[in-house]
Each structure stands twice: as structure tokens, then as C-alpha cells.
Amino acid sequence: MNECEQIHPLLRGFLAETLTARDRRLVARHLNLCASARKEMDRLRSGPLRSPQNPVEPPSEPWDLKVLRWLFKSPGHRTPATPRPNKKVRPVLDEVIPVERPSVWKPILGVLAIFVALAFATHLIQNAERNEALAAAKRWLTKKGFPGMKPTLEMVQDLAMLPSWNGPLTRATGPYLGLIQDEREFVLYWRVLNPSIGVPSVDFKENSLALVLTETTLDGGKQLRFLRAENYSDRTVIWFDETPGKIVRGVSVYRSWALQVVPKPAPGPVLIQKVP
């Protein structure tokens, strides 16, 4: 099949503007070289124009390639001029694709926007503790076990300057580690721990009480002392220490206890642990 047999069926589509850019360039080039094609084109122009049954549609382009093409536009192309065979050949239509200059600013602005977004996200992560909303969101994600969210230490409180009480003996029946949250519960425990002294005053609106009861011993009991409270994003840990106690004359069995005023912890689990 020669070139005329390939191009002539495309003349109707060329007039109806339904050809692809490549086919339009082929038809335009052939019209410059072929007199019979020009005659056929004149005949088609004078008669009724019929659109081809199966017009060629350009293939659709994926959206990601469109974005990349928009950011990094390449310059357009111009169809090279076809040399004319002789001076008597009349000029015909020749398609010219406009030249598009590449945009320099769009890639630069896109990269700059990415760096700004990364810097802003880094700033939020590093200063999450200073923002109550971000700190609350971080605590919620940590409690839910969100992947990559590890508990962070937010505050350490020294308990040495706050009121505390302790003793080597008590009528309690078993060991205990817990937190006392209201005055009624405190009064009940105090009457068991130290009934010979009046109940101390504690402001339960701002504070709570950490309580430790040890196992029974025969060697003088333990001297208990609370050290600090550590507030994490998902829990509060109250640490205490114990040292050997003194033997009391006439006492054979000891069960040591300690009460410590602590600032009211944030919502979440509270752990009372002995220093390793």
C-alpha cells in the first residue's frame, strides 16, 4: 500500500478536525506533495462533509502524569516545513503547533511548598507538649495504641516538700498500693492506719493521696518514703523507696505504711511503684 492509499481515507477526518495531531501532520505533508490529494480535498470541500464513522480519539492520560506534565512542562514542537517540489505548486494548509515555553517558577514553588509543609509538621511534633490540643490528641493516640506513638515523659514532680505520713505498724490486714481521691475514703483509712492522731486536713480539689501498705515482717519493718511523680502521655507513675526500719520493743510483727500528698494526676491509669 502506497502513501496515497494510506492518506486519502484520512482527508474527510482532516476536514472534520477529528484526526489526531500526528495524522493531521501526515495529511498536511502529503497535500504539499500530491496533486491528486489536493484535487480530492477540493472535491470534498465543495460537497457535503461527512464525519467518519469511527473518529480517532486521543488516548486518555493518567491524572498523575497530568500533574507532572503541569509542573514540568516541556516546550512544544513545530512541524518542520516540507520543501516544495517547484514554485508552481500552490500553498496548502499546514498545521503548526504553538510553542509553549517551560515554566520555571512552578517546579520551584512546588518544591518550596513541600519544604514548608515538612518544617511546619516538624515544628508541631517538637512542640506538641506546649499545645494542649496537640498534647491531648497525642495522649489519645498513645492510649489507643496507634503505631509509632510511644509514651513521652511530660512532667516530673518532686514530692519531698509535700506532706507525708508513715509508720511501722497498722491494723490493716493485707498489702496495698493505691490512690485516695476523696476525704471520706481518707478518713476511713486514717482510722485504721493511725487512730491515735486526728485526721489531717487535705485539699482533695487539688491533690490526692498515695498509699502503700507492705507485707508483714519480723525484722523491724520498712521505712517508706515517696520520691517523685512522673506524668507520661498515657499514665502517671508515683515512685517510692524503702529502707530497713527500726525494731520497736514489744513488737514482733510489723506492717509498714506510708501516705503521701500528690498533685491530682491527669486522667488515666496511676501506678505506684517501688524504685528498683
CA distance linking residue 34 with residue 197, whole number of Å: 120
Same-domain status, 261 and 179: yes
pLDDT tens sequence across 170-200:
877 778 899 999 999 999 989 888 888 889 9
- Average of per-residue pLDDT across 39-64: 65
CA torsion angle for 174, 180, 185, 190 (degrees, to 10)?
A: 60
Same-domain status, 262 and 166: yes
Same-domain status, 92 and 118: no
Higher pLDDT, 47 or 116: 116
Q: Which of 89, 117, 149 is the last residue of a domain?
A: 149
Q: Which pLDDT score, from 0 to 100, does residue 185 have?
A: 92
pLDDT tens sequence across 71-122:
666 554 444 555 555 555 455 445 555 555 666 677 788 888 888 888 887 7
Q: Which of 68, 101, 134 is the last residue of a domain?
A: 101
Task: Give the confidence band of 208 by pLDDT, cuts at 50, 70, 90.
Answer: very high
Q: Which pLDDT score, from 0 to 100, does residue 192 have?
A: 87
Please count the structural domains in the chain.
3
Task: Give Cα separations from 252 to 67, 91, 221, 222 (angstroms).
Answer: 84, 123, 10, 14
Same-domain status, 96 and 113: no
pLDDT at 54 over 60: no
Same-domain status, 76 and 56: yes
Who contacts 1 (Cβ-Cβ below 8 Å, separation ≥6)?
none
> Residue 41, class by beta-carbon neighbours within 10 Å (0-12 exposed, 13-18 middle, 19+ buried)?
buried
Structural domain span for residue 90 = 1-101
Same-domain status, 127 and 211: no
Q: Which pLDDT score, from 0 to 100, does residue 19 have?
A: 84
Same-domain status, 172 and 208: yes
CA distance linking residue 215 with residue 173, whole number of Å: 9
In DSSP terms, 146 is beta-bridged to none
Same-domain status, 21 and 80: yes
Same-domain status, 196 and 164: yes
Same-domain status, 123 and 159: no
Same-domain status, 23 and 129: no
Task: Give the confidence band of 212 by pLDDT, cuts at 50, 70, 90.
Answer: very high
Q: What is the pTM of this model?
A: 0.48
Same-domain status, 234 and 138: no
Chain mean position to CA 270: 28
